[in-house]
Amino acid sequence: MERPSIAAAAFDRPGVRVRTLVGLRWIAIGGQLATLLFVGFYLGYPLRWPSLLAAIAASVVLNIGLMTLYGRNARLQGRDLAMHLAFDLLQGGALLFMTGGLANPFSILLIVPVTIAATLLPAGAMALLGAMACTVVLVLQLWALPLPWIGPPPAFPPVYQFGVATALTLAVGFLAIYLWMVSAEARDRARALVATEAALTRESRMAALGSLAAAAAHELGGPLGTITLVAHSLADQLGDDPDFGEDIRLLESEAKRSRSILIRIAQRAEAEDPFAQLGLDVLLHEVAHNVQPARVPVRVDAPAPQPTVRRSPELLHGLANLVANAVRHAGSAVELRAITTATEIGISVIDDGAGFPAEVLPRLGEPDLGPSHSGSGGTGLGIFIATTLIERTGGRLLFRNRVQGGAQVDVRWPRNHIEAEKD
């Protein structure tokens, strides 16, 4: 099993920069203080100033501590971030408790820490923070102090108060679940795109390495040939010398051995990256060869002559993923079929297995198709990578089940997207 990369782990637990959290909290502190000053001095409502200012001062002290203890680009994740969001929730609840509870129109702001948690925390931590928010709502509903008012505060019917509490609880639950699902999907897609980029980068580097090896073998061939000739000449003249003969013969044999190694490197490099353009039939044979040895044979149905296409890492790796997936689920064989028309170039990957499950078929190509959805224990990441890479070349994919049994993936390109320009 492959270990998750650092980038993938970062998508699983993205966290937030301390600087961002501090900035948001300063905004909240400024809003809370401005509201209290407006209500207390401009409107003249009686407020419990010592307790309210103490709650705001607690946030100020925490912010100053964060700015002092953490670096400019430090991040908070997991439990640390959950504790800070819990503090914000409790601090806001304390202010509301002293200013009327759910009768205070600012009680809607209780959902803010939970919505932030839904986008940045794992499901368990988000659920705990949501439960805490619901508990705060219950406490405010039952035991909050009266709403500050000039004269007797307005009396809200119990049914209305219950409705406000229920609405806040439902808002917390719905927003938390909705935002968590959306952010989880975004992280799945980002993680899959990282895997796609990694596969494409590896393919490009391998191609570049093959070209570099061929160039190095060519450049070193001349000097090594000269060394071989000189060593051979010395061996003819001094090969029987009792002092230097053995060393000269060793030098000659090692020069010949080095030359044969360079020849093999050049041949291997040419085999791995032979041409930037090649016939569609040759491309399909190369793709079939890249998945060998396979548990079932991979047949190519592309009678020559076929159009010349541009050979690219995206195209090769994308098709190889589709063929590897077909080989994994095929019954006895996999077929690669070339289809060309006046306007399109197409490739079909056909297997004789059980076909795609009906519930999975509409979702093929999505990054979050885990084993619980695929029904085969696969993650769906290989098909997502293949889809992404092939779409980069201008292709379109269609996944379907064949009437006679088995699965078929049709890939189609407009000719001008993939066909090589004629000299």
**DSSP states along 274-316:** --SEEEHHHHHHHHHHHT-S-SS-EEEE-PSP--EEE--HHHH
What is the pLDDT confidence band of residue 6, given thresholds at 50, 70 and 90?
very low
Domain for residue 250, yes or no? yes
Q: What is the mean pLDDT of residues 28-37?
A: 96
Within this chain, do residues 264 and 142 fall inside the same structural domain, yes or no? no
Helix (H) or strand (E) holding 408: strand 407-414
pLDDT score recorded for residue 2: 38
Domain for residue 377, yes or no? yes
Q: CA torsion, points 411, 412, 418, 420, in degrees to nearest 10?
A: 110
Sheet with 396-401, edge to edge strand ranges: 298-301, 334-340, 344-351, 407-414, 396-401
CATH of the domain at 378: 3.30.565.10
Q: Which of 245, 272, 299 is the last residue of a domain?
A: 272
**Residues with Cβ within 8 Å of residue 312, at least 6 apart in sequence:** 393
Number of helices followed by number of strands (H, E) in the chain: 13, 9
Within this chain, do residues 295 and 336 fall inside the same structural domain, yes or no? yes
pLDDT score recorded for residue 416: 87
Per-residue model confidence as pLDDT tens digits over 253-280:
887 787 777 777 666 555 555 556 888 9
Q: Which of 256, 272, 288 is the last residue of a domain?
A: 272
Domain for residue 1, yes or no? no
d(CA 199, CA 389): 10
Strand partners, 339: 346
Domain for residue 226, yes or no? yes
Higher pLDDT, 71 or 51: 51
Q: Tell me which residue has tokens 């979050």.
A: 368
pLDDT score recorded for residue 271: 54
- Which range is least confidently modeled, 22-31, 221-230, 277-286? 221-230
Domain extent, residue 206, equals 198-272
pLDDT score recorded for residue 400: 93
Per-residue model confidence as pLDDT tens digits over 341-373:
989 999 999 999 999 988 888 888 877 665 444
What is the pLDDT confidence band of residue 72, given thresholds at 50, 70 and 90?
confident
Q: How far is CA 297 from the centre of its chain?
A: 33
Within this chain, do residues 147 and 292 fall inside the same structural domain, yes or no? no
Domain for residue 423, yes or no? no
Domain for residue 399, yes or no? yes
pLDDT score recorded for residue 240: 75
Within this chain, do residues 286 and 410 fall inside the same structural domain, yes or no? yes
Q: Tell me which residue has tokens 């077929």.
A: 335
Within this chain, do residues 134 and 121 fall inside the same structural domain, yes or no? yes
Share the mean pLDDT of the chain. 83
Per-residue model confidence as pLDDT tens digits over 211-250:
565 566 656 766 777 777 777 788 777 777 777 778 877 8
Calculate helix-pair angle for 123-143, 111-120, nearest 10 degrees.
170
- Which range is least confidently modeled, 12-16, 79-83, 244-248? 12-16
Within this chain, do residues 175 and 323 fall inside the same structural domain, yes or no? no
Q: Strand, coil or helix: what is 412?
A: strand
Domain for residue 40, yes or no? yes
Q: What is the mean pLDDT of residues 400-419?
A: 92
Within this chain, do residues 180 and 206 fall inside the same structural domain, yes or no? no
Q: At residue 291, what is the residue type? A: V
For the entire predicted model, the pTM comes to: 0.59
Within this chain, do residues 95 and 58 fall inside the same structural domain, yes or no? yes
Within this chain, do residues 23 and 127 fall inside the same structural domain, yes or no? yes
Q: What is the mean pLDDT of residues 108-130?
A: 91
| Nearest alpha-carbon partner for 87 in 116, 47, 50, 67 | 116
What Rg, from alpha-carbon coordinates, does the chain have? 34
94: pLDDT strictly greater than 90:
yes
Record the tokens describing residue 210, joined without a space.
């093959």
Within this chain, do residues 184 and 286 fall inside the same structural domain, yes or no? no
| Nearest alpha-carbon partner for 235 in 254, 250, 223 | 250
Within this chain, do residues 127 and 255 fall inside the same structural domain, yes or no? no
Q: Which of 230, 252, 272 is the last residue of a domain?
A: 272
195: pLDDT strictly greater than 90:
no
pLDDT score recorded for residue 214: 59
Within this chain, do residues 82 and 133 fall inside the same structural domain, yes or no? yes
Q: What is the mean pLDDT of residues 95-122?
A: 92
Domain for residue 343, yes or no? yes
Q: What is the mean pLDDT of residues 161-190?
A: 86
Q: How far is CA 45 from the centre of its chain?
A: 53
Report the share of the chain in percent with pLDDT over 90.
Answer: 42
Count of structural domains, the chain: 3
Measured over the CA atoms of residue 274, residue 278, residue 279 and residue 285, the dihedral's sign is: positive
Higher pLDDT, 265 or 17: 17
pLDDT score recorded for residue 14: 62
148: pLDDT strictly greater than 60:
yes
Residue 419: DSSP 8-state: B
pLDDT score recorded for residue 293: 74
pLDDT score recorded for residue 248: 79
